[in-house]
Amino acid sequence: MPIRLNSNRALRRVVALLMAGVLLGGCTSMMLSGGGVTRSAGTEQGASQDTSDKGISAEIKNRYRRAPEIDVFNVNVRTVDGKVTLSGMVDSYEARNEAYRLARQVAGVHTVVNQIRVVDRSR
């Protein structure tokens, strides 16, 4: 019978770990999506805004892939309600300005916050 007691204990641990994972997963997604934003993804408007924000970010990244002066892997694009925030690092001010210009041209973009840093990588 001690084996059954141990398996019940093990089962309870597994269930507790699964529950903790579910709860923490919800917290993580809330933090990543901007938990302070009062927008319900369950509403039609909230869901369409999420889709359009993702589409805006995707289109900006596609344009960066076609721009030889921008390393798409070093520039992050985050869009919330049409407000685009650019961050990361580039090699020149020309690349920084081009990233801003390309983002501004995308339909649905209302504001671009350019936090891209220029880093001299030649050292």
| Angle at CA of residue 52, ends 118 and 21, nearest 5° | 85
Contact 70, 64 (CB under 8 A): yes
The verdict on domain 43-123 having CATH code 3.30.1340.30 is yes
Query: pLDDT tens across 96-112, in order?
Result: 999 999 999 999 999 99
Contact 61, 84 (CB under 8 A): no
For residue 111, the cross-strand partners are 83
Residue 67's pLDDT is: 95
Q: Which of 89, 83, 92, 81 is nearest to 115 (CA)?
A: 89
Residue 30's pLDDT is: 43
**Among 23-32, 70-79, 106-115, the least confident range:** 23-32
Q: Residue 62 pLDDT > 90, yes or no?
A: yes
What pLDDT band is residue 121 in, cutting at 50, 70 and 90?
Answer: confident
Query: Would you list the domain boundaries of the chain?
Result: 1-34, 43-123
Q: Residue 95 pLDDT > 70, yes or no?
A: yes
Q: Residue 5 pLDDT > 70, yes or no?
A: no
Residue percentage of the chain with pLDDT more than 90? 55
